[in-house]
Amino acid sequence: MNRYEEAKRMYEALGVDTEAALKALSNVTVSVHCWQGDDVIGFDCGESLSGGIQTTGNYPGRARTPEELMADFDKVLALTPGKKKLNLHASYAILNGEKVGRDELEPRHYEKWVEYARARGLGLDFNPTFFAHPMVKDNLTLSSPDEEVRRYWVRHGQACIRISEYFAEATGVPCLMNIWIPDGYKDIPADRLAPRARFMKSLDEILSVPYDKEKVIVTLESKVFGIGLESYTVGSAEFCLSYSASRGITPLMDNGHYHPTEMVSDKISSLLLFNDKLALHVTRPVRWDSDHVVLFDDETREIAKEIVRNDALDRVLIATDYFDASINRVSAWVTGVRNVHKALLFALLQPNEKLKALQENADFTSLMAMQEELKTAPFGDIWNEYLAREGVPADYLAAVKDYERDVLSRRA
Ligand code: RNT
Ligand code: ZN
């Protein structure tokens, strides 16, 4: 008997159907962020990263052009299992030397990405880029007291809705458009209300552009603080949840955007009770919103368990969001995306009904013992079987090293 067959029997004894788990996993879509490949720099204006987020490290091989980023993303596609979407930021517009403001972006500036996605059967997601740009004034965009600045960024958001709709139409797959602004203050503000009131008004203006809600799913991402924006962020959790609920858009939670002992895994159930859909940025915060590569760690597994055992694989829209420039970027990308799938598989291999019953019967002794035993069940054999069925090599490191030698290391 091969390892999979044996592992399958062991899981059967625990009441888990591995075939059902593998099937469910192969239907999950993960939206893979484009910005791991080039340290969140993009192609439209060449400004260095700002907005309270930071990529650290200078490992050789950063993608400097759309062609390089596309080639690297192809590697990621080849080395990761499952259904995927490509998640683009507006700053990845391909302008061919044309000077175009972010408020003037049009679908045609993304034609090459649409071609790329269509050729690979990928859906596209999108993000207006409210950072790393000269029109960010005093760390403010949509909440700026300067009407010229605020209006500029409103036009940008509106342009992005039109581009998102184009993505949905061109690929035949709905496009999630996520709004995140870095706006905030380093030190104690004198007025917390006015910037939030302006943000609210700006969002209303962006959403006043007519769009097909079946095609474009607008999400709003909150944040607790950023580097240089430690004391106050305009788009706080309360603001974003309340705004989303009142306007019928979808909340997005990034698990790096809360206080360090606050867990997104504990928030998912509440949002599922009040929202039709919920979006996630899966990342790994290390002491701050550091956006380390996603690992197969406790919190990633716990997030996955909350999605799976609440039967919400079709209601939770999962995207990755991390950027590490201190190691091979393609490896970083692949490791993180694989770990999202891995965590989901782990969650699918839990005897969830049995565990829930133990809780309902207040048998916490058995619950703890069983949850601990499950951690060392033959999970790796099922994972390897999944990779084999998906046609993805188990050893991605060798492939990544070859690519580094042949391609990345030549980018001087
Ligand atoms: C920043 C947010 C945001 C960005 C991307 C690049 O803290 O997490 O989602 O990481 O838009
Ligand atoms: Zn995020």
- What is the predicted pLDDT for the residue at 120? 98
CA distance 269 to 264: 10
**Which residue among 180, 219, 322 is best mutated to probe the pocket of ligand 1, counting the most ligand atoms within 8 A of its Cβ?**
180
- What is the predicted pLDDT for the residue at 213? 98
In this structure, the chain runs to a length of 412
Residue nearest to atom 2 of ligand 1 (CA): 180
Name the active-site residue from 165, 306, 321, 385.
Answer: 321
Tell how far CA 96 is from the center of its chain. 28
Select from 405, 272, 309, 246 the least CA-distant residue to 21: 309
Contact 113, 127 (CB under 8 A): no
Residue-wise burial string across 13-49, b where 16 or more C-beta atoms lie within 10 A, e elsewhere: eeebebeebbebbeebbbbbbbbbbbbbbbbbbeeeb
CA distance 163 to 157: 10
**What tens digit of pLDDT does each residue of 227-281 get?**
999 999 999 999 999 999 999 999 999 999 999 999 999 999 999 999 999 999 9
Give every CB contact of residue 300 below 8 A, 6+ residues apart in sequence: 282, 284, 294, 339, 340, 343
Pairing, β 278-282 against β 250-254: parallel
- Does the pLDDT of residue 1 top 80, yes or no? no
CATH of domain 29-348: 3.20.20.150
CA distance 114 to 169: 10
* Mean pLDDT of the region 342-355: 98
Query: What tokens appear for 27 in the block?
Result: 């239907």
CA distance 391 to 338: 14
SS3 2: coil
Angle at 16 between CA 14 and CA 18, to 5 degrees: 130
pTM for the structure as a whole: 0.98
The alpha carbon of 16 and the centre of ligand 2 are apart by a number of angstroms equal to: 34
Rg over alpha carbons for the chain, rounded to the nearest Å, is 22
Domain borders along the chain are: 29-348
Residue 143 identity (one-letter amino acid): S
33 is catalytic: no
- Does the pLDDT of residue 220 top 70, yes or no? yes
- What is the predicted pLDDT for the residue at 353? 96
- What is the predicted pLDDT for the residue at 78? 98
* Mean pLDDT of the region 329-349: 98
> In degrees rounded to 5, what are phi and psi of residue 228?
85, -5
- Does the pLDDT of residue 134 top 70, yes or no? yes
204 is catalytic: no
* Mean pLDDT of the region 393-410: 97
- Reported as a pLDDT band with limits 50, 70 and 90, residue 212 is very high
How much of the chain exceeds pLDDT 90, in percent?
Answer: 99
**What tens digit of pLDDT does each residue of 312-327 get?**
999 999 999 999 999 9
- Does the pLDDT of residue 287 top 70, yes or no? yes
User: How much is the mean pLDDT over the chain?
Assistant: 98
**How many Cβ atoms are within 10 Å of 56's Cβ, its own excluded?**
12
What Cα–Cα distance (Å) separates residue 383 from each residue in 14, 203, 294, 301, 406? 17, 42, 17, 14, 29
- What is the predicted pLDDT for the residue at 35? 98
- What is the predicted pLDDT for the residue at 221? 98
**Which atom belonging to ligand 1 lies closest to the Cα atom of 35?**
6
Query: What tokens appear for 241 in the block?
Result: 């949840």
Query: What tokens appear for 388 in the block?
Result: 């084999």
Name the active-site residue from 254, 299, 385, 404.
Answer: 254
Which H or E run contains 21? helix 18-26
Give every CB contact of residue 97 below 8 A, 6+ residues apart in sequence: none
* Mean pLDDT of the region 15-39: 98
Select from 278, 233, 212, 286 the least CA-distant residue to 256: 286
How much of the chain exceeds pLDDT 70, in percent?
Answer: 100
**What tens digit of pLDDT does each residue of 288-313 get?**
999 999 999 999 999 999 999 999 99
- Does the pLDDT of residue 82 top 80, yes or no? yes
